[in-house]
Structure formats: C-alpha cells, structure tokens
Amino acid sequence: MRAIIFDLDGTLIDSLPDIAAAVNHVFYHRGLPALSLAQVKPMIGDGAKVLLSRACAAVGAPVEESDYAVFETYYTAHSADLTRPYPGIVAALQELQAAGHSLGVCTNKPQAPALAVLEALGLASYFGAVTGGNSTPYRKPDPRHLAATLDALGSKDAVMIGDHHNDIAVAAGLGIPAIFAAWGYGEADCPIIAHQASEIPGLVAAMVD
C-alpha cells in the first residue's frame, strides 16, 4: 500500500489563530503593531523563519536575532490553544489507516512544535513519521525533505497531500502523485483536488486502483 504523507498547517490542522498569536507575541515584545489573521494567513507555508521575515517586512521592521527563539518557545507552549483538526480529518486518517496505508507528516514547521500540536490534538498516534522543517538540512519544496519522511516510513511509493505549492512541488520532485487540499491557506496548480477531507480516502483509492 502507498504511504500517505500529509502537510500539517492548512492541511491537517487549522493553526492560523495560534500562529498569528505567536507572531504577535514577538511583535508585542518588540513594540510592533499586531497583524490580523488575514495578514498572517498568506505568510504560512515556508517555515517559521520565513514567516517571521514576511511578518516583519509587513510592518517595515528588520528581523532580530532573538525573534525566532521567542516565537518557537511561545508557539510550542500554545500550539493547540485555538488550533483544531479540519472537519473530517480524523475520520479520513482512520479510513486510510484501516485500508493499510502508512501515514506520515512532512512539514516546514519546526519539529518540536509540530510534534507538540499533534500530541495535543490526539493526532500523533496516526503517524509513523513526522519530519519538521529542521529535521533535515532540507525543506519543502526540496524533494529530499519528503524523501526523508518516506525513508523513515520505509516506503518509496507514496501520495503527498497539502495545501501549498511547496507540497505539490515536492511531490513532483520525487515523481509521486499529489492531492491539493483546497480548504487550506495556499494555492497550487494540481490536477487532483480534495475540496473536503472526507474526499481523501476515495481519491487515494482511485490512484491505487
């Protein structure tokens, strides 16, 4: 059976409120104006360092050396305050697992907060491997990031599911199919689209057949 690899933010979980809160925590301590959810949403998908660079650029401020550590410490402690799995995600994971698929997560979010939020939301047990943005020297869209997830699962045959062009690109880099999660934060050109999480098992089954 194919391994099914998920992106995290915007795919498995709606983490925007807690991510924005962490950004604004950094900004509060620096005396910078807070950003809205709508402002932060398009900044997500390339990891915390890029997120903070984009956020600081939006208010015309440089990134400071301490910003990343302040962000990660706060976010790891508060990663599940307002974050929830998207509707239908848990049922889709259960259905995929029951069908015999191994499941993994490949995210540009740093490893510690990624694991923390999965544990807090009761999702960690579904996944045999979780590779964060600092788990390897590579990050999506570099296909070596996804390859590390597959190696951890002991699989070469897989499907990548995500809401960001990085997810579609990383799958293309390994020559594996992808499913675009249309409910998330990003945009991508992908021929296979899931409009809600409940569609994922059927789309995967059609590929296997």
**Strand 158-162 relative to strand 103-106, pairing:** unpaired
Burial 152-180 (b: 16+ CB within 10 A, else e): bbebeebbbbbbbbbbbbbbebbebbbbb
**Strand 178-181 relative to strand 158-162, pairing:** parallel
Alpha helices, DSSP H, located in 3-137: 16-30, 37-40, 48-58, 67-78, 89-98, 111-120
Do 102 and 4 form a contact (C-beta atoms < 8 A)? yes
**Strand 178-181 relative to strand 129-131, pairing:** unpaired
CA dist., res. 123 & res. 125, Å (int): 6
Clarify whether 7 is annotated catalytic: yes
Marked catalytic residue, from 7, 14, 67, 167: 7
CA dist., res. 63 & res. 199, Å (int): 40
Residues annotated as part of the active site: 7
